[in-house]
A = this chain, B = another copy of it.
């Protein structure tokens, strides 16, 4: 029995999220089904991050154990067996105790906003035209680094033992007609990035001041933070391992 790390990418709009659930098309189930066909036995995968319904990934990982040796052509064959919305990038052997979720040092997400209606980018960016003060939004980002408990940005229904996250990067940049929010942390809570983006947009619109972030974070109350922005602007873009 050897352990393997599979790297893949997907259009979240075509799936009910990463994690398997009954009566819904999920990334995990699609991967397991097709890997099981190739291995001719049941394969279970453990993902690095459980992205919500609608959230995209350009770099996501999962590990799995397989008693038969992986053939060189599996990436090629998987890409032709899987739906167009899910692509396998690579499969490589890892240590037997490697864990895709627990060994990940950090995850990086991008949230894309498009400033004018752009038909071909409507599936992967959030169309938002209101004027925004980017400087104020980046000033608010600086406050995120001063805290580790982010319960205020977590979905209320959650099964985590701690709300502590170490945010390593949080910055807004302008790229032509697009605004890109980059956030990197050791871990994220459920709905956290979309709640942070929603709150930062309120700062950008002048409805909140950057320093209001202190009170919001200290409240540990989801109702104090801004609304969650739509899932389709969110992309998991990097997972770092040792």
Residues of A in contact with B (beta carbons under 8 Å apart): 9-11, 14, 56, 58, 79, 84-88, 116-120, 122-124, 127
Contacts and interface: CB of A to CB of B under 8 A. Distances in A.
A119 B79 contact: no
A123 B123 CA distance: 10
14 contacts: A10-B119, A11-B119, A11-B120, A56-B119, A56-B120, A79-B117, A84-B117, A84-B122, A85-B119, A85-B122, A87-B117, A87-B118, A120-B123, A120-B124
Copies in the complex: 2
Given A11-B122, A122-B11, A123-B123, A87 B58 contact: no
Contacts of A118: 9, 87
Nearest to A116: B87
Contact of A9 (B86, B119, B124): B119
Contacts of A56: 119-120
A10 to B, nearest CB: 5
A86 B120 contact: no
Contacts of A117: 79, 84, 87-88
A127 B80 CA distance: 11
Nearest to A118: B87
A86 B10 contact: no
B120 A58 contact: yes
Contacts of A79: 117
A84 B117 CA distance: 8
B11 A87 contact: no
Nearest to A88: B117
Nearest to A85: B119
Contacts of A124: 120
Nearest 9 pairs of A and B residues by beta carbon = A87-B117, A11-B119, A84-B122, A79-B117, A85-B119, A10-B119, A11-B120, A120-B124, A87-B119
